Amino acid sequence: MSSSNLSVSANIKFDEAIELTQSFLTQLKKNELTSSQILDFVSALVKTANGARGFFVTYLTASDPLCDEPQPEIIVAIAAHPDIAADLLVKNIAMSTAQQLYHQRRNDPEMMASSATVAQRTTKIIQQLNLPQIQDMCRELVSTIHTGTGSYREFLTRWGYDNEQKDSIAQIVSQLIV
């Protein structure tokens, strides 16, 4: 496959971003992409909200262990678009942490493990990025959980997280604050 199969349109839709990321992962696994193609593709994808959402939902949940260790080019590409990426990564760590508890309560070890994988991958990316925006958002999320007010209140309410889930999120996110 050539890199032209990974062309990202400026107004990409969420489902298109998922499909493109799946193709990207297939090519990545087969070592068919150069470093610059990896960097260019991920950068083009994560510079839009739909593209970034599609990339992260696919990359973080992929069954391939290749995604356990993000390539340096992926980290550089994500870092180039910190505002979009930071918000999504902080919300991903919160959601996957809360979902682990949800699946544990439902005695679903397979889904619990899947959520744990997403949390581990997200944590690794956050740590490698080491972006001030992520640090600020992590502080804000923990503050919102502790005070009940703040910019993450609507997010936490929308997902209906209970106190145990919020405490778990605060505990995990606090560990990411340097």
**Could you tell me the pTM of the whole model?**
0.92
Domains of the chain by residue range: 3-130
Q: What HEC string does the chain produce?
A: CCHHHHCCCCCCCHHHHHHHHHHHHHHHHCCCCCHHHHHHHHHHHHCCHHHHHHHHHHHHHCCCHHHHCCCHHHHHHHHCCHHHHHHHHHHHHHHHHHHHHHHHHCCCHHHHHHHHHHHHHHHHHHHHHCCHHHHHHHHHHHHHHHHCCCCCHHHHHHHCCCHHHHHHHHHHHHCCCC
| Average pLDDT taken over every residue of the chain | 94
- Residue 178 binned pLDDT confidence (cut-offs 50, 70, 90): confident
